[in-house]
Chain A
Amino acid sequence: MLYALLIYEKPDDFARRDSPVESETYAGAWRAYHRALLDAGIFVSGKPLDAPETATTVRVRESKRDIQDGPYSNTKEQLGGFTLLELPSLDAALEWAARCPAASYGVVEVRPIAVEMEPRVTVANSN
């Protein structure tokens, strides 16, 4: 089963990425976590996202484009990254979510990949 870990962080957390004092601890914890995912053989993919200020939203309504600066949601916690894991159960996914560094300073949302939906909306690889 595929599970997505959606990582939500506060503005301070995004700032910590560039802080020379804290970035070593911050990056160190993430590096170690990533390593643990690889060692366990469960990591499928995942990336950190740049800060929410760098986001641009796009809507098309009645053939008109609406382009805006900034992230979609106005909440304090913003999507900061995602990880896709191959795991046997939700229980296992929660365990890995709890180990995620963001779980102790932000929020980690665990969502299963929609298995019913996927074959209908994805195209088989032609290679």
Chain B
Amino acid sequence: MQIRIDEPAHRAVEAVARESYGRLVALLAARTRDVAGAEDALADALVAALTTWPRDGIPKNPQGWLLTVARNRLLDHARHQQVHEHSTPTLKLMTRQFDETADPDTWPDERLKLLFVCAHPAIDPNIHTPLMLQTVLGLDAVAVGRALLVAPKTIGQRLVRAKNKIRQARIAFEIPTPDQIPERLKAVLNAIYAAYGNSWEDASGADQRITELGQEAIWLARVLREQIPDDPEVRGLLALMLYCESRRPARRSADGRFVPLSDQDPKDWCMPIIEEAEAELTIAFQMRRPGRFQIEAAIQSVHAERAHTGRTDSAAIAAFYDQLMQLAPSVGGAVARAAAHAEVRGPEAGLTLLDQIDSQAVISYQPYWAVRAHLLRQLNSAEGAADAYDRAIGLSEDPAVRDFLTERRNRLTPQ
């Protein structure tokens, strides 16, 4: 049978898959702890929907339909396994289910548990983000690989290994206890931010899939905020990503050239997104428990202020970076801090701070060389600046950034 892409039933399947993938996987896997099995069962159900819905019409409760079919697949599979493995407890667990014919809004939302499983300490931190992208958002290995710059085959193997670990180690689908939450939540937030960070690096927005990943990361943070509304770092991360998102359109000129933050016209920033970020950050600050993401968001909030005041409070930014380095030191933070202090106290102060960073850690770190070039240019050290520009150009991935740096380098005037 030929399935036409424009068929309403086909679009309905796609819409349910898009909207409910993570919810359904979480529900199916919560009791069995078998994420891979849940995904396979859901994939079978989606294939069944593609053939059945165009013929019989779209069911009234599409999610319930998918859940029933997927659950039956799981039960069939478990019965089959039982012959070999005596897995009666699993079968019992699975049959003690909720009523999937009921309104999906009344189902328990297990996605938060799934997020905690994906970022479990027993799982390699490098796989946290890919696991979330796949199990909660339903991206396939090719899309995950493209977004995170890993070969699809490699990512596929790592995901299989991680899912085996979840099943074999019987990692529980549960919300951590209150004393565990801050530590466990940190891993979840880092994984979400890693997804956003990779999206942010694709500033050109040339790859639609990657641009969407930014939206997905924000969506995950919103899910977290709904479920853990009283954690300031959750809101801090959401605010941080929203601030960055608000500036996305301003990062390119009409003719596709890279525009650095300081040259952006605030009129190109998306104000409603900035307002949402402000609201989140305000609530976070009222909780009086500062953290890394809140401070990073605060830095972006100072930048956003330029839309109202027409100027940037560099001293405030530098002070926030000092605080950030106390709380969560990183090479990226140290480079950004040097740039911030250079704005307040001049390029020499910035260079001094750059020189304090471990030179081994920055050999292949593009922002370090870009900032260094910028400061040396301000000090009229043409030769040193050209050298630093070369190193930044050689480490750039984005052609627009490369062109921007090349142009600045070529404009240097010899002493």
Contacts and interface: CB of A to CB of B under 8 A. Distances in A.
Interface of A: 24-25, 28-29, 31-37, 39-41, 90-91, 94-95, 98-99, 101, 103-105
Nearest to B402: A29
A22 B398 CA distance: 18
Interface in B12-45: none
B364 A40 contact: yes
A32 B391 contact: yes
Given A24-B410, A35-B390, A36-B391, A105 B150 contact: no
Interface residues of B, number: 22
B151 interface: yes
Contact of A99 (B154, B389, B390, B397): B397
Contacts of A24: 410
B59 interface: no
Contacts of A28: 390, 393, 406, 409-410
Contact of A101 (B149, B402, B409): B402
A99 B398 CA distance: 8
Given A35-B391, A36-B364, A90 B154 contact: yes
B403 interface: yes
Interface in B115-161: 149-151, 154
Contacts of A90: 151, 154
Given A25-B406, A40-B363, A105-B399, A32 B394 contact: yes
Nearest to B154: A90
Given A90-B151, A99-B396, A99-B397, A39 B410 contact: no
B154 A91 contact: yes
Contacts of B259: none
Nearest to B149: A94
B395 interface: yes
The residue among A41, A90, A91 with the most chain B CB atoms within 10 A of its own CB is A91
Interface in B369-397: 389-397
A33 B406 CA distance: 12
A24 B1 CA distance: 56
Nearest to A35: B394
Nearest to A89: B154
Interface string B162-192: 0000000000000000000000000000000
Contact of B364 (A34, A39, A98, A101): A39
